[in-house]
Structure 1
Amino acid sequence: MRSSGLRSAAIAAALFCASLGAQAALFEDDEARRAILDLRQRVEAMRTQTDQRLTDDNAQLRRSLLDLQTQIEAMRGDMQRMTGQNEQLTRTLSELQQRQTDIDDRMKKSEPAKVSVDGREFTADPREKADFDAALGVFRAGQFAQAQTAFAEFVKRYPQSGYNASALFWLGNAQYATRNYNEAIANFRSMLSLAPDHAKAPEAVLSIANCQIELKDTRAARRTLEDLTKAYPQSEAAQAGRERLSRLK
């Protein structure tokens, strides 16, 4: 009987221990599941945070890229404006340089230059030279009335000109050709008074005598021719004057 009771007690003890072990195992499984759930929640939370951070970072990156693109476009626009301004400045500088060149050329053209007329050298303005040459061209074209006007205006316009002695000589010749003998004599004498050593001076004296002959003033013409041969004895005009004297009565 005792043996049977001991066995029953052992069996009961064994069952109790097994029950405790089962309970312990169940407890451990619950803890494990809770731990796993907790871990999953933490991982999910971390994943959510990571995704949000990535989303935020991507949004920030997109904003940064947009800002950078905007800055690049702004810089491109600035560069285009600067390029346009540089091109305009280059054109403006080129125009200013051309203007300066034109001004320099005009100044050079308007500057007095040395000229030589009838063996006399002097300084004359380009316009002054052009006006004299134009008047002389009119005379040589046989337009004596126009030449008379042109030389008279020249002497009036340029009273201090180095051309004046020559201008008076040609003015007298134009007046002789248009039979304005008294005016011609006056201008030939003005020319001789201004430049008695002029290359055309002997011709001017001979021309005065010719005007006096045309005016039938033989006595005055003879005196003039005698003065010519004395003042300019070696000139061709003096030789012509001697021949003219021999024919005067």
Structure 2
Amino acid sequence: MSFPRLRVAATALALVLGVGLAAGPALAQTSLDDPLDARDAKRVDRMEKVVRELRSIVFQLKETGKPVVVQPADTDARLQDLANRLGDLEQTLTRINGSLDATSQEVDQARRANADLQAQVKALSDRLTAVEQKAEAAAAPPAPAAQDAPAPQASPTEAFAKARELMLGGDYAGAEGAFAAYVQTYPDAPRAPEARYWWGKTLSVRGAHAQAATAYIGAIRGWPKTTWAPDAVSELARSLVALKKPADACATLSELAKRYPKAPPAVTSRATATARQAKCAA
């Protein structure tokens, strides 16, 4: 604030103070029972405010020697602005709390769904394990019953001949027991692989394809150069098709062509039919 303005302010202060002093006696003579009207009260409030501001300007300028800028009182406006900001902050916090509640519910649902999924996976795993165990049990060759297997003969030759006799006579159940007994009694005999081959034949007759496949595999181990070996390979492929293992059946038939290129026509014909049934690639 410049010094001319200071003089003007001082003059205004003097005038105001003079007016106040002059009005003193008059106010003193006014009856207390005669209150000022509303407009006069407002004027007095404004004049008192101006006086306070002018006095502040005069005294602060006298003490510091620097112009003083009096800011209008805006406390109410600032308080209102602060209240508005607080209101906005409360709304924001409310929205955040709502979002957190929704997220917490989603997390809980995801946890429950994960627990249910783990339970389903465990149940499925248990079922698969049980199926595998049943398949292994079915593939294992059964121990021949004592009442089904005839008593071993004096020599492997006589035991083999007896089993073949039962089979040629159409007694496949008796032949099955006889060949099973031969394999168990004479596992290292020269004709043990052939006994496994004929044992597989009897098993195929009654539809025991898993056990028959096991018998055929034991018969052709080492790819023996015998008359019955090509047929054993062909019968193994047919058992694998019956077990719904076409890929394994096709692999077996490919070995038949490589290992036994001069297989009898009857064996080759059955192998071709089995390849079509398994949908082997040409």
Larger radius of gyration: 1
Please identify which structure carries the higher helix content: 1
Please identify which structure carries the higher strand content: 1
Choose between structure 1 and 2 for higher RCO, CA contacts under 8 A separated by at least 6 residues: 2
TM-score, normalising length from structure 1? 0.46
